[in-house]
Amino acid sequence: MVKKLLFVVLIVSNFAYSQNTVGTISITEDAYEGYTLFTTHLKSYLINNCGELINEWTSTYLPGNSVYLLPNGNLLRAGRITDSMSNINFGGTGGVVELFDWDGNLLWSYIYFSNDFRQHHDVYPLPNGNVLMLAATVINQTDAIQAGRNPLFLPDNEIYNEQILELEPVGTNQANIVWEWNIKDHLIQDLDNTKDNFGVVEDNPQLVDINFFNGLNGANNWLHINSMQYDETLDQIVLSSRHLSEVWVIDHSTTTAEAATNSGGTYGKGGDLLYRWGNPQAYKQGTVNDRKLFGQHYPHFIPSGLPNEGKIILFNNGFQRTPSFSQVDIITPPVVSPGVYQYTPNTAYGPVNSDYTYTDLSSDPSEFYTAILSSAQQLPNGHILVCEGIDGNVFELDASDNKVWEYINPIHNVTGNTTNQGDPPNGSRLFRAIKYPTDYPGFNGRDLTPGIPLEGNPDLTPCNNLSVSDFENSIVNVYPNPTKDIIYVSSINTIDKIEVYNTLGHKIKETHNKYVNLAKQASGIYFLKIYSQNSTISKKILKH
């Protein structure tokens, strides 16, 4: 009877693993040890590589869109207020910024939302405790034409100004605006010399042409800034214009008054663009053949201390490209000195080519394609974490572009419904996913005991099968198995730690001994995860 029960459980388990559709799909020993953060529906989740829940935070707002774990363990999150309550509506709109502590208590909530202005897409936590916030504000038809917009390309009778505000949180729901930047102060047009911002576009790459639409129709959301990231070393902000397919870098060291001009700040150019890359057509220094970016997301400087530090990494979606396919790019902006970018007049900003490109063209190019959302992150071990946003697919690439970890979000982004293991993913889209190292300061003193995975009917077989070849091939005996109480582990290697998991993925015991006492546990199947010399191996056991 016991043997028959064990046989049935093993058959079911193996079948589930072969049909894994959500949660941790695959994992190898080379996967970077860390905890991955993402937001979907009303919750932000922190998971380990096995897809087990480490922590979660609950909001009353759907994503609006970015989320960050701070070095003190707090969570900064953007939320979306109901679209029908504002005239500013497009993909990525939000309206509220929230700060939670590790335990999920709401510490601060700031609403920036009306018919004339609205937070969208991104916020960013500054080292001084302030928060950068990306927002759109309305420029009416009259003002848009006065700014130089071609009246024939005003289908919405308005356009959006992109704005960055630096917020100093006050109390639980207020903020002081201590710095401000607006793209409306850095425009150019060569259409009408009786209107504002008239000049020679190709001679002024530091300004944005109000009449360049990149093949679109000049709708109010003509720029669609979908990402705003900050580099502390340079005190610069990196922006991503999806609709113009460009990356912009601006100076944050200016005063608000200087940010509205072309002088002042560390780099002497006020709020003008210090650098731009991706689509030289935007400033009349190239053709369609010179275009490098296609609706990209999450460009940012790779932080100091990581491989490729100081370079820009981004997810290049492939929007408006034929055939449609996505890629990850890393580029080196040409500099004269740190933060000062090299530019030759009447040419396009360099580089001509990326330092690194990942895509998957092995069969059907559209297999790796997501027109919207998504991110790419450089990891400390040289790997790259990729979030394929539409499918909610997060995977890690090693130095040879092999996938060493893959995870699919099982939570529906709008309804919050949970997908069961074995069922196809449904509405699992993610804006971004970020992996934090296990020694990140925000984890200090926190309970990081893994809970159950997010998906229904979870299966930890991919993790339970993990082992490094040297360890796997060594002599490891687990006995007696089945057992009534004590299970012993013997090996030619040193045993550092043993963890015991039940079939739901809960860790129920941990010991640094070479045996585990299961006398108080119910009869059934358990898994031992045995640690030895930075390697692991898993063993299935049966307790009577």
Q: Is 412 a residue whose pLDDT tops 50?
A: yes
Domain assignment of residue 511, yes or no: yes
Residue 473 neighbours by CB under 8 Å, 6+ apart: none
CA-closest candidate to residue 410, choices 1, 10, 35, 41: 41
Co-location of 468 and 453 in the same domain? no
The more confident residue out of 532 and 505 is 532
Residue 303 lies in a domain: yes
Question: How would residue 470 be classed by pLDDT, with cut points 50, 70 and 90?
Answer: very low
Mean predicted confidence (pLDDT) in 346-369? 88
Share of the chain above pLDDT 70, in %: 93
CB atoms within 10 A of CB 268: 14
The yes-or-no verdict on residue 10 having pLDDT over 50 is no
Model confidence pLDDT, tens digit, residues 489-507: 877 678 889 989 886 777 8
272-289 pLDDT, tens digit each = 999 999 999 999 999 999
Residues 415 and 480 both lie in one domain: no
Domain limit, last residue, from 435, 458, 481: 458
pLDDT at residue number 492: 64
Query: Do 208 and 293 have their domain in common?
Result: yes
Please indicate, yes or no, whether residues 468 and 408 belong to a single structural domain of this protein: no
Bridge partners of 120, per DSSP, are: 93
Q: What is the CATH number of the domain that holds 525?
A: 2.60.40.10
Domain final position from 458, 477, 494: 458
pLDDT digits (tens, 9 = 90+) for 71-127: 999 999 999 998 777 899 999 999 999 999 999 999 999 999 999 999 999 999 999
End-of-domain residue from the set 458, 476, 509? 458
The number of domains in the chain is 2
Q: Is there a domain that residue 13 lies in?
A: no
* 203 & 248 share domain: yes
**151 close to 211: Cβ distance less than 8 angstroms:** no
Q: How confident is the model at residue 363 (pLDDT cuts 50, 70, 90)?
A: low
pLDDT at 367 over 90: no
Token digits for 156? Answer: 């919405």
- Give the closest residue to 139 by CA, choosing from 111, 117, 169, 106: 117
pLDDT digits (tens, 9 = 90+) for 134-186: 999 999 999 999 999 999 999 999 999 999 999 999 999 999 999 999 999 99
Mean pLDDT is lowest, of 178-192, 363-377, 382-396, 455-469, for 455-469
Provide the β-strand partners of residue 529: 499, 538
> Per mean pLDDT, which range of 199-208, 302-311, 355-364 is the poorest?
355-364
Q: Give start and end residues of each alpha helix (H) in 215-330.
A: 256-259
What is the domain range of residue 511?
463-543
Same-domain pairing of 91 and 171: yes
Do 225 and 373 have their domain in common?
Answer: yes
Q: Quick: pLDDT tens for 259-268.
A: 999 999 999 9
Q: Judge whether residue 475 has pLDDT over 70.
A: no
pLDDT attached to residue 190: 98
